[in-house]
Amino acid sequence: MEVNINNLTGVTGSIVVKMNNQTLTIGNYTYQELSVQGISPANGAAGTHIRITGAGFSSTTGPAEVFVNGKPALVVSASDNILVAEVPESAGTGPVTVKVNGKEANGQIFKFQVISGIKPATGGKGTHVKITGGGFDDVKAGNLVDFNGKPALVTEATAEYLVVTAPDGVQTGPVSVTINNQKATGPIFTVVPMPKIDAVTPLSGPAGTVMTITGENFSTFTDENKVTINGKPAVALTASAFKITLTIPGATGNGKVVLDVNDQVVQGPDFKDQTLGIATLSPDNGLAGTQVTITGTGFNTNAALNTVTFNGENAQVISATATSLTVAAPPTLTSGPVKVANAGQIATSPVNFNRAGIMTLAGGPNSSDLNIKERGASIAVDSHGNVFLVDFTSQCIRKITPQGVVSIFAGSTSKQSGNQNGTGTSALFSFGFTNGIVVDKQDNLYVSDGYNNTIRKITPAAVVSTYAVNLNQPGKLAIDDNGILYVQTSYSLTRVDKSGVRSAMSGFYGGADYGSPVIIGSYLYYSDTESLYINRYDLDNKTNIRGWAGNGNFGNSDGPKNQSSLVIPLGLITDGQGNIYFSDGFAATTRKINLTLNELSTISSQPSTGYKDGGLNEAQFRNRSDMAIDKDGNIYIVDQYNNAIRKMFLK
């Protein structure tokens, strides 16, 4: 059989069938020239399905091919006069082309929508964001922009970029642009808190001086941090999330330092446009007589011609250069700003000098008030500043008033240990070697009674009762804001509710429980003294992060918390301001972890081992172990081998 369609000449004609020397005409064939008449939609992003109408799409030799701006597109469906094709990735704007039997026809231009980037990618309500890409409508009203579904105002429009304002109630999520009902989705816009300025240094100085702004929620891109001094721009040199440096431009006059981070504006302190300025104080804390080095500009090289005050009290200037003064903190020292006056100008320190140091609250090497030298002690402090001490050796609870007066609060030093409830000295305890003590918001004490396998409760009136039983030698304690107790032993953690009902906490990795743990939010932080780590346990999800702080090496280095070395971390406490403090065991230092910066630092060390009160880095200890902190931020430290409780005040 032979079929002839008008002799295959590509024109309209009859369809003829020849079979067995007979010819039969069975119909007519209408030839359609290949053409593209329309596309819908005429714009869209990669993956958009476009409907192509036209003629001549059928072929006897192979399927029709579709190209968008010269790039092959997947044909989803085909007929003589309709093709459906999927726009390929990175197609770009250009004509839609159909190829059939070696012929091709071009249709109208397809406008390819794409968001290639947004800047800034962080901010909040009111942040002006530039969206770059292609296929945008150059009429503002033709572009519908949303931030995670919330409509945003378009303030500028071209085919290649849009400028929009982040809307009220903006939340973290993708930025999208819709044109003619076709949506293109771009990168995530992350909502961040308002920036915060903690300190600006110096607060005065000449042109060319480097200014440092410290705080939180800065952009890591220098151009996204705009600083003005009395309205005059100052270009950022470096930027991190917590610090910006810039050069003082000069001729600013006196006025506010203002920081604009992606249209989130915060106002800082006043700046003085003058030659005299203070950059740093070293140290920035101490007691009367502490020698302090003041660095800056514009000092008089004649020491006597510089007037220095600490919170209004005159200080002795020991030596002077144009950029450095050495002074002695005055006898009547109180916390406050340091000021330098020279040639009619006055400069103020960027941070206050804090009267800070260490004193002995109770006990001492030759004191009989305490008996902790042999076995140490655990401590807690109530809302009135009274320190309570578990005296393992004497099997009693001692109370130390804010004035340092020591008394027996519960238990008896003249009786044998036991398990007897009662009031004051009528009660008996039998403490183990790693006991804990905590205080709740009502000033009730909870004490681990190790050898009795119980938790004992002691009211402010010294009434002792049994709170929980059968705890298998309970050790260190922590308490959350709801009054729930957590009992740590060497390799386990037990939750004890307000009814005394206990439940085991799975997923906890122990390590010796020499150091008291602390709870912040839903996390328990505790010492892993066997591996020289501080670990974090999630109380809600019952998961453990081992090595949350510390690098596992024996040492006393500062820096990022995971890269710093520890020497037996003990006595964890928190100041409620995002900081954890702990004693670093036999290194006899007090260290701090800033939870915002994830930085570990040493706030108090000592020149040598001994017994001496003084500044944070002048006082001497024999060792530092358990700690407690009062509502004013004063820290109390067990100095076991000096038989003393030391008080550290930071401000």
Taking the C-alpha atoms of residue 505 and residue 489, their distance in angstroms, rounded to an integer, is 12
Q: CB burial class (10 A; 0-12, 13-18, 19+) of residue 420?
A: middle
Could you tell me if 15 and 26 are in contact, meaning their C-beta atoms sit under 8 angstroms apart?
yes
What is the pLDDT, as a whole number, of residue 19?
67
Rounded to 5 degrees, φ, ψ at 487 are: -110, 120
Nearest alpha carbon to residue 202 among 286, 299, 270: 270
Q: pLDDT tens for residues 449-487? A: 989 999 999 999 999 999 999 888 899 999 999 999 999
Nearest alpha carbon to residue 402 among 631, 151, 130: 631
What is the Cα Rg of the chain in Å?
38
Q: pLDDT tens for residues 322-336? A: 999 999 999 999 999
The span from the first CA to the last CA of the chain, in angstroms, equals: 107
Give 354's pLDDT tier (boundaries 50, 70, 90).
Answer: very high
- H/E stretch holding 251 reads none
Taking the C-alpha atoms of residue 410 and residue 428, their distance in angstroms, rounded to an integer, is 8
Give 291's pLDDT tier (boundaries 50, 70, 90).
Answer: very high
Q: pLDDT tens for residues 127-173? A: 999 999 999 999 999 999 999 999 999 999 999 999 999 999 999 99
C-alpha angle 446-450-451 in degrees, rounded to nearest 5: 135
pLDDT at 187 over 90: yes
pLDDT at 193 over 80: yes
Name the token pair of 247: 């050069």
Taking the C-alpha atoms of residue 532 and residue 267, their distance in angstroms, rounded to an integer, is 43
What is the pLDDT, as a whole number, of residue 515?
81
Report CA dihedral (8, 9, 15, 19) to the nearest 10 degrees: -40
Q: Which residue has the tokens 């890409």?
A: 133
For all residues of the chain together, what is the average pLDDT?
A: 92
What is the pLDDT, as a whole number, of residue 204?
95
Report strand pairing: 264-273 vs 204-205.
Answer: parallel
Q: Which residue has the tokens 């100085």?
A: 205
Q: pLDDT tens for residues 70-120? A: 999 999 999 999 999 999 999 999 999 999 998 999 999 999 999 999 999
> 53-62, 218-227, 230-239: which has the minimum mean pLDDT?
53-62
Distances 414 to 378, 395, 437, 449, 480 between C-alpha atoms, Å: 21, 10, 22, 18, 35
What is the pLDDT, as a whole number, of residue 587?
80
> Of how many residues is the chain composed?
651
Give 61's pLDDT tier (boundaries 50, 70, 90).
Answer: confident
Report strand pairing: 313-320 vs 324-328.
Answer: antiparallel
Give 651's pLDDT tier (boundaries 50, 70, 90).
Answer: confident
Report strand pairing: 196-201 vs 182-191.
Answer: unpaired
Q: What percent of the chain has pLDDT above 70?
A: 95
Beta bridge partners of 340: 308, 347
Give 3's pLDDT tier (boundaries 50, 70, 90).
Answer: very low
Q: Which residue has the tokens 């819709």?
A: 178
Query: DSSP 3-state assignment of 224?
Result: helix
Could you tell me if 574 and 581 are in contact, meaning their C-beta atoms sit under 8 angstroms apart?
yes
Name the token pair of 428: 């008996």
Other CB atoms within a 10 A radius of the CB of residue 288 amount to 17
